[in-house]
Chain A
Amino acid sequence: MGHALGTRSRPGRSVVTMSSITLATNRGRPFRTSNVLRQYVPLLPPSILLLVFFAIPMGMMVGLSFHPEGASTATLANYERFFTDDFTLAGLGRTVLMSGLVAICVTVMAYPVAYFLARSRSRWRAVVFALAIAPELAGVVLRTYGWLIILEDQGFINSGLMWLGLISEPLPLAKNMFGVVVGLTHVILPFGILSLLTSLQGVDPSLEKSAQILGASRISVLRHIVVPLTVPGIVSSMLLAFTMSASAYATPAILGGADFKVLATMVYEQVLFYIDWSFAAVMANVLLVMMLIIAAIGSRLEMRLHKKLHF
């Protein structure tokens, strides 16, 4: 395992700008094979699996979205229904707002933890790492009920505050946007931490050290070196958090209450209760297009921030 250390602190690779969405192409492969097509051969097994169990089934769903039950020819009727209905549109708006808030909360909370994991040499690091991924180990449903017990009107926080006499009416912590954002942030935080960690590990610690030796304060090291270099990580963490929240079902369903409908909960109802898969496919497609737009905005933003913050 000795070589591994050597690869880390080599000065030449300090500016690692790869993110998981825009991949660096300048690295090249170590073991050359001559045939161009042969390069793609290893992709075959994963691609076949993805084709059979994802692309073809989803293709069927896309087809289904143009064929509502009873329609003999392709029609946009279900898309029209989606975009002319204030109820579904409100659900779409709520989805964007919720996912955006979660993306920000996750990234802001994950950053210090990831930084600690990437830099600290303390023996607490293992503990922090274990705790950081702990939420993922427990099932979503029960964890969400855990939050409900904490946040609901007669939950721990409200009954505690009322017992202390600080409030007379319970605070609206659950069955609304606040509760959902708290729950989703908890679910997605480990992914944010891991995603930022990868990016922070790409920043050479000796860069920070030299800046400090040259008299820069920690704040300015953070602002002028660490944050600019991890912009790709920040953007990819936000995109991941956004994507995961927009398609999450259990947390909004349990912590959101009956009037908190997001696209994912509406899709769930269409699939399992109304059994209208055509309309469910329309919603899923809208969700997909929305995520593509957000991803495009994300990579734009990444490039712009990168130019602006890069020294």
Chain B
Amino acid sequence: MNRIVSGLFRVSIVLVMAFITLPLIVVMAASLSPSSQVTLVPWEWTVRWYGDLVARRWIDPFILSAQIAVLVSLISGVLGLLAAYVVAFEKCPGHAAIMSFLLSPLAVPQIVKGVAIVLFLSSAGLYRWVGTPGLVAAHIILTLPFAVRMIATAMFNFDRNLDRAGQSLGATKAQRIRHLLIPIIKPGVFSGMTFAFIISFNNIPLSVFLVRPGQTTLPITVINYLEYSLDPVLAAVNVASLLFVLAVIFVFEKIGGFSAQIHGGSK
């Protein structure tokens, strides 16, 4: 019986993994196909679409998206940390209300948030904020719920008794923060920041209204190109940015031990 169960368990994981990978393989095949007709035959594949990526049309939006995503990720990390600290550690009333407030942006369609922010900015006369500042702020609204959740979860894993033990052994507050608190919450902070980066880098609906003409983010450039042409170059853009995001995750992992979160902090 146990053997059947673990067999089924393994099969289910393989199936889910196949489900996850399938469309990614198709997009990869599309980026290597000579025309918009996707082919799965490897010897028909070509890398010429990747050559087309080295053009200002793709490079400029890529740089802008990366800049915005880095800013969003850093600020979400800091703000998420502050909010999660209050939610997780302070014994003040209204935790649930605070958390719902922080999570509430998730429940509004992004396009509505986008038009609302632009309407607000223009009625307040803040036209200059449309563009990078507005994009960063709007993306943070979206990423903050994820950052707060992840950081708060890491903080819940912090054991007060450990802190008391440290205190009774004469450790100062600064020492306890440095040696007890930080190592435990660091993975949560970095996983929150990684997610913020990914969400910002790929966002479309919020950005539609907030991009400044001539300074367009990569996903907006992609959907806009899609309106006019179905070239495999779009798939190539997608695969290339996927590789870029993977590289970023790798860097975050090196600095902050992102996967320590999933390894249960047992690293």
Query: When A and B assemble into the complex, do they touch directly, with CB atoms less than 8 Å apart?
Result: yes
Using a CB–CB cutoff of 8 Å, the interface residues on chain A facing chain B are 1, 3-8, 10, 13, 16, 18, 20-25, 27-31, 36, 39-40, 42-43, 45-47, 49-50, 52-54, 56-58, 60-61, 109-110, 112-113, 115-118, 125-126, 128-129, 131-132, 134-147, 149-150, 156, 186, 189, 194, 197-198, 201, 217-219, 240, 243-244, 247, 249-250, 263-264, 267-268, 271-272, 277, 280-281, 284, 287-288, 291-292
Question: A49, B141: Cβ atoms under 8 Å?
Answer: yes
Inter-chain contacts of B91 with A (CB < 8 A): 25, 28-29, 39
Question: B109, A3: Cβ atoms under 8 Å?
Answer: no
Question: A28, B160: Cβ atoms under 8 Å?
Answer: yes
Inter-chain contacts of B100 with A (CB < 8 A): 21
Instruction: Give Cα A217–Cα B87 distance, bound, in whole angstroms.
Output: 39
Which of B41-49, B50-58, B149-157 interfaces with chain A?
Answer: B149-157
CB distance from B118 to the nearest CB of A (A): 8
Instruction: Give Cα A40–Cα B82 distance, bound, in whole angstroms.
Output: 10
Question: B219, A139: Cβ atoms under 8 Å?
Answer: yes
Instruction: Give Cα A24–Cα B27 distance, bound, in whole angstroms.
Output: 43
Using a CB–CB cutoff of 8 Å, the interface residues on chain B facing chain A are 1-2, 5-6, 9, 12-13, 16-17, 19-24, 26-27, 30, 38, 40, 78-80, 82-83, 85-92, 95-96, 98-117, 119-120, 123, 137-138, 140-141, 144, 148-150, 152-153, 156-160, 162-163, 173, 176-177, 179-181, 183-184, 195, 198-199, 202, 204-205, 208, 219, 222-223, 226, 234-235, 238-239, 241-242, 245-246, 249, 257, 259-260, 262, 264-267
Inter-chain contacts of A156 with B (CB < 8 A): 26, 40
Question: B92, A36: Cβ atoms under 8 Å?
Answer: yes
Number of A-B contacts defined by CB within 8 Å: 297
Question: A28, B5: Cβ atoms under 8 Å?
Answer: no
| Partner pick for B119 among A43, A57, A249, CB 8 A cutoff | A57
Given A8-B264, A137-B246, A277-B119, residue A25 in contact with residue B95 (CB < 8 A) = yes
- Taking CB as reference atom, which chain B residue is nearest A141? B223
Inter-chain contacts of B241 with A (CB < 8 A): 138-139
- Taking CB as reference atom, which chain B residue is nearest A146? B23
9 additional A-B residue pairs with CB within 8 Å, beyond A109-B16, A149-B26: A45-B78, A50-B144, A58-B112, A138-B202, A139-B202, A140-B202, A146-B23, A147-B26, A284-B108
